[in-house]
Chains A and B, each alone.
Chain A
């Protein structure tokens, strides 16, 4: 005994030795809060309220104690049950016996069997395409949400509070159901069926509410068994069959249940479900205000531009006649000048023609002719005689000369031979 070397003299009293064993075992983390597996045997509850049993398998066994109120013991656990316990070792010095002090005990057989059914269900859902099916879109602003959850549950009040924060007065119908244990699955399926009915326009009309456009199936955290309802095929099938989008919000972030796998949206917690489907009303109102402002501003600006354009057009319009008038005036002046100058030319031409004509006229005046030696014969009445045919023998005529006139009697008429 190497340890014996530490003891100075003589044999060790057994009590001291047991105390040494106890402290050594209790110091070693390997023997504390260890998860162990075995079969229950000899289970009995003492009058003190403590429960004792042996945990055994074909290799060995050890006595176990569940101190009163230390942990929950499922009713199904009895002799022969396969269990998983979390326990720490202790030594009962008066008897020198080792005992496992149990901190948690769960029936392993039921969990194992359940786990097996769950695995089978998931693979069946994968095979029939349920897991790959196209999921429904959740409405951007839900008009009528159905929340299926435990009546008066903490999850429900969390969700209610969150909805009121984000969108006060958002329309919702809460269907209180049993969320664990016997009857929970059929309860939830009935609620889903009711929600589906409320998606029908005629039913919605009867209830005087809009058709249901979103369903939340929610439950707060709990043990694997507590949440097991949401691993059941009936619940999964009801969710798959829903014509209304379903959000599954079961347990905590780490719990992934079959209902989460088949739902249109998986929310990590009931609160998360609300965050994902209920928009912040103020955000939307702010967006509206912004869009409205931008719409109005851009139109006002466009009108401003048009107005400016109109103003400048008006100004140009006002000036236009003046500009036109002065142009016309210029044109008129030009024309006047052109007329003036051309008429001047015409006039002088005319003048010189007149002079020329005057000269001709002057030169052809009868007096000039007479001056050249010609004379003019006229009747007594002044009629010019240009032919012998117009006179008769004995007729008195007047002959005009350049410097006077004389009267003569016709004595003889000689007519020129006609040619």
Chain B
């Protein structure tokens, strides 16, 4: 994979890979390469999921501004 792929791109590429693999007719080398790409894309998507979770902050306007400036 080159560069940073977006979540949506990763998802649609995954769909393509899976349906192509399911259609069959690929060489073993191609199959393996596509599987590895798929596994890597899944990892990208998973990490996207994990990245969405974190602290919850409830702040007043003054607090947020002092945090930004501080």
Contacts and interface: CB of A to CB of B under 8 A. Distances in A.
Nearest to B23: A298
Contact of A171 (B14, B52, B67): B52
Q: Tell me what chain B mostly uses at the interface: helix, strand, loop, or mixed.
A: helix
A72 interface: no
B1 interface: no
Nearest to A170: B52
A207 B67 CA distance: 7
B55 A288 contact: no
Contacts of A173: 57-59, 64
A99 interface: no
A302 B52 CA distance: 35
Interface in A279-332: 281, 284-285, 288, 291-292, 294-296, 298-299, 301-303, 305-306
Interface stretch (A21-29, A136-144, A392-400, A410-418): A136-144
Contacts of B68: 194, 197-198, 203, 206-207
B20 to A, nearest CB: 9
B7 A142 contact: no
Nearest to B37: A295
Interface in A140-182: 140-144, 151, 167-177
A140 B53 contact: no
Contact of A151 (B21, B35, B52, B60): B60
A93 B25 CA distance: 96
B45 A175 contact: no
A198 B46 CA distance: 24
A147 to B, nearest CB: 9
Contacts of B49: 141, 281, 284-285
Given A141-B7, A190-B65, A169 B53 contact: yes
A288 B42 contact: yes
A39 B31 CA distance: 82
A138 to B, nearest CB: 11
Contacts of A291: 14-15, 18, 38, 42
Contacts of A191: 61, 64
A51 interface: no
A276 to B, nearest CB: 16
A187 B57 CA distance: 18
A221 interface: no
B64 A175 contact: yes
B54 A171 contact: yes
B21 A299 contact: yes
Contacts of B67: 207
A281 to B, nearest CB: 7
Given A151-B60, A176-B60, 10 more contacts: A140-B8, A141-B51, A171-B52, A174-B56, A176-B59, A177-B61, A209-B57, A281-B49, A302-B24, A302-B28
Interface pairs A-B: 5 shortest CB-CB = A171-B54, A298-B21, A169-B53, A174-B58, A299-B35
Interface of A: 139-144, 151, 167-177, 187, 190-191, 194, 197-198, 203, 206-207, 209-210, 281, 284-285, 288, 291-292, 294-296, 298-299, 301-303, 305-306
27 contacts: A143-B51, A171-B53, A171-B54, A174-B58, A175-B59, A175-B61, A176-B59, A176-B60, A176-B61, A191-B61, A194-B61, A285-B49, A288-B46, A291-B15, A291-B38, A294-B18, A294-B21, A294-B22, A295-B18, A295-B38, A296-B35, A298-B21, A298-B22, A299-B21, A302-B24, A303-B28, A303-B31
